Structure 1
Amino acid sequence: MVDDVTPGSIGTGLPLKGAHLTVTSKEFTEQLILGAIMGIAFEAAGADVLDRTGIQGSVGAREAVKSGEAAGMYEYTGTAWITYLGHSKPIVSPGKQWAAVRDADRANGLTWLAPSALNNTYALAMNEANYKEYGTKTLSEVAALAGKDPGAVTLCVESEFANRADGLPGMEKAYGMDLPAKNITQMDTGIIYTQAAKGSCTYGEVFTTDGRIRSMHLVVMADDRKFFPNYNAAPEINSTALKKYPAIATVLDPVTRKLDNTVAQTLNAKVDVDGQDPHDVALEWMKKEGFVKGG
């Protein structure tokens, strides 16, 4: 990374001067932005940073951090708990979910720093016209509507969501829904948003931090029974690198605390809707928040 940034509210005294740190991420928009944010923070604190963001698949990026090829990345607590650590049942409390992942991953040479409020989990969303017609705000209300008027609740979902225990089958069980197969249409992720916006299906499966939720004016249903796992983003750092450069934690903590779903939706939309470059979006946000200067 060659951003000409200097300390703002983070990095004062250049505590990472002399450090050579590699940052990584998965390949989707939000991860590219978060990877850039981490790298820019390290740059402002004086480090030389190698950008290895955009690794295909979840496992590759994690393995880079685990092996020490990368110093860190932003990872999701639910992904670590379920996909990497092999647990089938998520923990309802976001804080307890993070703590369980932190404790379990110590043995893997990984240290989880304090988590953000950014929670990129599943949800159902509808367009404003359908919201005005049906008025549902929670998944319990969607279940009640399905019981009262079965034809009113049609879903657009990904094939993976349709078959995962923490997806549609589990959601139906948790909320007492029994939707007929003809009311469920499987399609690619991007198409779901446009079909939900058009009202072709009453509810579409979405990810809670996706920028298209705001740009397409979709209304998200609250998961009032806390069924869906928590996928809070937090820095996952190679423990050896953190021991060598403990300032990594103090540099990242204020940045992580600013990340929430509203921030994520806004930044993701700049890339997915407006066509901006993820790194430029990250840098603009870091400067706007006063974390760094210059660039």
Structure 2
Amino acid sequence: MTKKYKIVLSILLAFSSCLLTSCSLLGSAKSTPNIRIASQSSTESQIVANIIAELINHELGYKTTLLNNLGSSTVAHQALIRNDADISATRYTGTDITGVLQMKSVKDPKEATAIVKKQFKKRYHQTWFPSYGFADTYAFMTTRSFARKNNLNTISDLKKIASKMNAGVDSSWVNRQGDGYSDFVKYYGFDFKRVYPMQIGLVYDSVEAGKMQTVLGYSTDGRIKSYNLKILEDNKQFFPPYNCSMVVNDSILKKYPKLSPLLHRLDGKISLKTMQSLNYQVDNNLLEPSVVAQKFLEKNNYFKGADN
């Protein structure tokens, strides 16, 4: 074998080796699972979606793709139906019962959960996971000083002074059927002096500034902590339960068996107070949802052992 031939042969072998390595890498990349996670436009939904993504990345090494800022639960639902997404990060029992399922509102939390679990499995071949541990529901609130002055702890306590109060409410709530303003008045037996529909982001500013004596906001909103507001207990349970869970296509759970036990680590692990705090870190401290999610999981050691 001549020296020239040996050189050519060496080059060809090296080139072949390179091709084989590249093909191997490409094959490896293709075989790596990519889990697509849908989130809505709220701070809460984006934080939870990032928690799910970080948990999957860290524990399983799977890739994840976030589909952010979907406008509503219905849009997120359609993303799963069309197979554009595998996981819907934040879904709420009360919202999906009246929205996606087109059923009458259900007041009892256990009954509501049973309905969505059964119907989503039957109709859509999707698994409704257990609640994260919090419910994001409508909540009347006041400043703490106003609550102390008037001895307010429950919504019923407002009745004695409601005729003198201005109330700021989410504009989408005023005309809702079943749990909107007119039904609220009948249910609790009192009305406010005047009700001001407004964008949800403005209600907190208005009560903090004293323009409104009470406002209707969301129970997990980080601005409750920012403005040190007091949530009044819905003592008559007027508002339907809005327990928050993830919803996952059964097809992806079947394809990747390790996914289900990992996702179940989050069952009951995010309390109302914790979710308020996580939202606060984004809305008030201006941290990115991905940063807040990573810190939360690191603090809790990725809930290791919860699925064992």
TM-score, length-scaled by structure 1: 0.86
Tell me the percent identity: 26
Matching residue's letter, 2:93: T
Count of residues paired in the alignment: 270
Report the equivalent of 1:158.
170
Cα pair 1:113 1:234 within 8 Å, conserved: yes
CA distance in structure 2 between the partners assigned to 1:283 and 1:39 by the alignment: 10
* Structure 2 unaligned spans of 5+: 1-30
Work out whether 1:224 is the aligned partner of 2:235.
Answer: yes
- How far off its partner does 1:19 sit? 2.6
Q: How far does residue 230 in structure 1 lie from its aligned partner after superposition?
A: 1.1
- Residues 202-221 of structure 1 deviation map (CA, whole Å, 9 limit, x = unaligned): 10111000000011100000
2:80 maps to 65
- Paired with 2:301 and 2:180, the residues of 1 have a C-alpha distance of 39
Is contact 2:81–2:124 with CA below 8 Å preserved after alignment?
A: yes
8 Å CA contact 1:66–1:109 kept in 2: the answer is no
Superposition deviation, residue 292 in structure 1: 7.2
Partner of 2:99: 83
Which residue is 1:185 aligned to? 196
- 1:32-111 matched pairs, under 5 angstroms: 32-44=46-58, 45-74=60-89, 75-90=91-106, 92-106=107-121, 107-111=123-127
Are 1:124 and 2:136 an aligned pair? Answer: no
Whether 1:176 and 2:192 are equivalent positions in the alignment is no
Distance in structure 1 (CA, Å) of the matches to 2:256 and 2:75: 23
CA distance in 2, matches of 1:155, 1:261: 24
Q: Tell me how far 1:43 sits from its aligned partner.
A: 1.2
CA apart distance, 1:29: 0.6
Q: For residues 267 and 225 of structure 1, what CA distance do their matches in structure 2 show?
A: 29
Distance 2:303 2:67 in 1: 21
Residues 83 and 160 of structure 1, relative CA distance in 2, 3 Å threshold: same
Letter in 2 for 1:173: K
Query: What is the rounded CA distance, in whole Å, between the counterparts of 2:230 and 2:110 in structure 1?
Result: 26
Q: 1:292 to 1:128 in 2, by over 3 A?
A: closer
Q: Does structure 2 retain, via aligned residues, the 8 Å contact 1:157–1:187? A: yes
Q: Name the SS of the counterpart of 1:53 in structure 2.
A: strand
User: In terms of Rg, which structure is larger?
Assistant: 2
Say which SS state the counterpart of residue 42 (structure 1) adopts. helix
* Contact persistence 1:130–1:199 (CA under 8 A): no
**What is the alpha-carbon distance in structure 2 between the residues aligned to residue 133 and residue 86 of structure 1?**
43
Partner of 2:45: 31
State the shift of 1:266 in Å.
0.4
1:252 is aligned to 263
CA distance in 2, matches of 1:275, 1:256: 27
Partners of 2:150 and 2:209 lie apart in 1 by: 16
Q: Pick the aligned partner of 1:167 from 163, 168, 180.
A: 180
**Paired residue for 1:11?**
none
Q: Distance in 2 between matches of 1:119 and 1:101?
A: 15
**What amino acid does structure 1 have at the position aligned with 2:150?**
Y
Does the aligned pair in 2 maintain the 1:127–1:198 contact within 8 Å?
no
Structure ranking higher on relative contact order (CA contacts 8 Å, 6+ apart): 1
Tell me the CA shift for residue 68 of structure 1: 2.2
Amino acid across the alignment from 2:132: S
TM-score normalized by structure 2? 0.83
1:278 aligns with 2:293: no
**8 Å CA contact retained: 1:113, 1:253:** yes
Letter in 2 for 1:159: S
Comparing 167-176 with 50-59, which one deviates more in the overlay? 50-59
Task: Describe the SS at the equivalent of 1:39.
Answer: helix
Distance 2:303 2:269 in 1: 14
Q: Name the amino acid aligned to 1:131.
A: A
Paired residue secondary structure (1:237)? strand
Q: Does the residue aligned with 2:157 lie in a helix, a strand or coil?
A: helix
Moved over 4 A (4+): none
Structure 1 segments unaligned to the other structure (5+ residues) = 1-16
1:245 shift after superposition: 2.1
